[in-house]
Structures are given as structure tokens and as C-alpha cells.
Amino acid sequence: MLKAETMTDVHVSTTSLEENTMPRSRIRGSSTPRMIYHHHPSFDKTQLSGWRSTNKEAELPHSAWEREEKRCLELGLPGTESLEDKSIPTFARGELPHFAGINTFLKAPYVEDVKQVGNYDAAIIGVPSDGGTTYRPGTRFGPQGMRRISALYTPYNYEIGVDLREQMTLCDVGDVFTIPANIEKTFDQISNAVGHVFRSGALPVILGGDHSIGFATVRGIARETDETIGIIHFDRHADIQEKDLDERMHTTPWFHATNLPNVPAKNLVQIGIGGWQVPRQAIKEARKRDTTIISMHDVERLGLEKVAEIALEYAWRGADAVWLSFDIDSVDCGFVPGTGWPEPGGFLPREILYLLGAVAKEGICGMEVVEVSPPYDISDITSLMGVRAIVDVLGTLVAFGKMGAHRTIIRGRSS
């Protein structure tokens, strides 16, 4: 994900069986002929990224996993004598088994006392709010859905060569107390919560919720710093009109976020915009504010690497930090049916994961995943995509030494 790899193809003869021209030998004791394949003789398997990733695993420590096993035995009691694996407790605690336990995000520790959140590198914050939805509701269940399916994952990624358990500390602080009948009070609650976590030094990672929360999350960061913040926004929709249905809704976050004094519109980059669900009011505002829109046609024409380069250039120009906003509907709706405004023609999963990694490697001051609506989902695949986006970004920050870089912009703090 972090870097495009070029791999020499392995050439295998594809002559059909019917032609009966390939060399054969007989398996001893059998009349069945065995095919003999001629591979490219000059190929060196050490060129494979898989080979490098396999060897990189040996460099990762195991100390955090050992502490986890010890903690689980202490809290969950040693397992029955009939078990051969003596690391298994009687009561499920921690990561295993994946189908058991209380599902925080990635089975990370639940921090009930949010005053302790600064002891962690990053904190998961649920924002169960869909009061800004203008069509299909259900994103208030997004945090639950993503937490539930996150149990499927381990903290280790083979391709990136990162183990989040060993190389960073992650916690889950639970959900913001949102006010279903009042979107403005909900915005205030969200800004308070995100601001608190950011001020503590932990990286805020938001599980949405509809996209209206984007204004409140960015405001929470902007209040805690005197520095300039850019925004990289993945979406099929521009979300920058002033009002929708006479309110600030999920189509309006960037109008209001870029009205904040230290969040200039010229540092807003929107990637994947297109289709038949982009209101003209939004485009007029984008033109007026001189934002940067990269359409899906641009992505196809320029390629992923160039798009990431452009996004970083404009988002970081004169800025001191970047907020990452990932709307799940930027991915083609065939892969993410569980969303309020599904739209064909978006990113393939591999494409969006590459781009998320490519922009995160320069560091972020926080991120949000929005518009995951489990009531419309199939087999949790939309929630899983949201989870994958988060863990890939965290893995990228670790791999490129950018975890904790956001602390330098916190008012009154130098590290």
C-alpha cells in the first residue's frame, strides 16, 4: 500500500492440455501423468515484496503481545488443566478469540476515564449521529458496526510490516453523547470531545456518523491550535454548500469548516468527486472559494501516485497539519452498499487504500470515517472497509515515523 511495487512476471507455459505438447512425467505407482512447468529461469524471488515483508516480520518485537497474554491470564483466570496451550485464560480477555469478548475497536483497551486518554498515541471516538442525513438514515449505528467487525483483524499487517500492538498504543474512549433532536448541540458535543482528545496529545480517530460531523470534528482541532489546518477529503460529493433543507447537514461540512480562521478553503482538497449527486450549489461554492477538486476522471487520467502528489501539494501549501476525512461512499457502491448515498463509479478498494496510505505518510492531525450505515450493509463489508481505512492509516503513520507528529501544533505544547 505504501509504495507501488514493480514485479517481474513469472512466465508459465500455457499450452493447452488438448495439444498434448507439454513435457510430462509419471508419478511413481500411478498412471496419471504429471505436468512439468518451465518457470522463467532468471527470476529472483528476493525481488518480491512478499519476500521482503516475510523477512521484516523478524525485526518486530513480541513484548507487547507477551504482556497481553500475561494480563489476560491475570484478569481471566488460567484455563482448565485439559488445555495444552497454557496462555489461554478461562474468561475471554483481549484479542482472542475473535468471535468473543466486548468489541472495542480492534479489541483496544476501553478508557472509561477520558482524562487518561493522553496516555495513548491514538484514541478511537465514536460519533453515533445521523441527524444531518438527507436521505437514508442509519449512520448512527456506524460506530457499532465498525467496532463489531474490527474484531476480525489482528494488529499486524504483513505487507506494511507493522504491528500496531508493538509499535504504538491505541485506546477506545467510547462514544460522544450526541443529541438526536438537535444537530447544533450535537456539533458542540463533538467539538468538545475531539478537542479534548487532541489537546491531550492522542490522535483523534473518529467513527461516524454522517458527514455533517466533519465541520464539528475539524472545529474541535482548530480551537486547540494557532496553526493552519488543511483538509484532504475523499468523497463522491463536494459537501461544501452552505445549507441543505435549511440546516447544516451532511452536504455542508466544508462550507462551515473553511469559515474557521485557521482552516483556509485553498487548503481543502476533495478527491473522487463526480456522478449525478453533486449539487450545483456546492460547485458554485467550490469555485468561489478556490478549493481543489480531483474528479474520478482525473484519477483515471493521472494515476494514483500523481493524484496523491497533487493532494499533498495543495493541502499542505502554507499549512502546518492536515485533517483526513474519508467518506465511505467514495468507494464504488458495489463494494460498500451500506451507505446513505451510494454512487457507482467510485474507487476500487485497492485504489482507495493506496491513496489513504500515500497521503497519510506525511502525517495527519486526525481522521474520520463517515457515512457507514450498517442497516443497509451486506455481511458487514461496508463497515469492514471503514475499519481497513483506519488501520491502514495508523500503520502508515507508524511505518513512516509520523505517529505523534500532530502534537507539535497543539497550543502550548512542543512535542
pLDDT confidence tier of residue 32, bands split at 50, 70 and 90: low
347, β-bridge pairs: 331
**Residues 177 and 184 sit within 8 Å (Cβ to Cβ):** no
Reduced to 3 states (helix: H, G, I; strand: E, B; else coil), residue 117 is helix
**Residues 31 and 7 sit within 8 Å (Cβ to Cβ):** no
**Residues 71 and 95 sit within 8 Å (Cβ to Cβ):** no
pLDDT tens-digit readout, 132-162: 999 999 999 999 999 999 999 999 999 999 9
Determine the pLDDT at residue 38.
Answer: 61
CATH architecture of 105-409: 3-Layer(aba) Sandwich (3.40)
Domain residue ranges of the chain, discontinuous segments joined by +: 64-93, 105-409
pLDDT tens-digit readout, 280-300: 989 999 999 999 999 999 999
Task: Give the largest CA-CA distance in the chain.
Answer: 81
- As a whole number, mean pLDDT of residues 55-71 equals 95
Determine the pLDDT at residue 330.
Answer: 97
**Residues 107 and 101 sit within 8 Å (Cβ to Cβ):** yes
What pTM does this model have? 0.87
Q: What is the mean pLDDT of the chain?
A: 91
Determine the pLDDT at residue 344.
Answer: 95
Determine the pLDDT at residue 357.
Answer: 98
Determine the pLDDT at residue 243.
Answer: 87
Q: Tell me, rounded to whole angstroms, the distance of Cα 17 from its chain centroid.
A: 46
Q: What is the dihedral of CA 156, 374, 275, 352, to 10 degrees?
A: 0
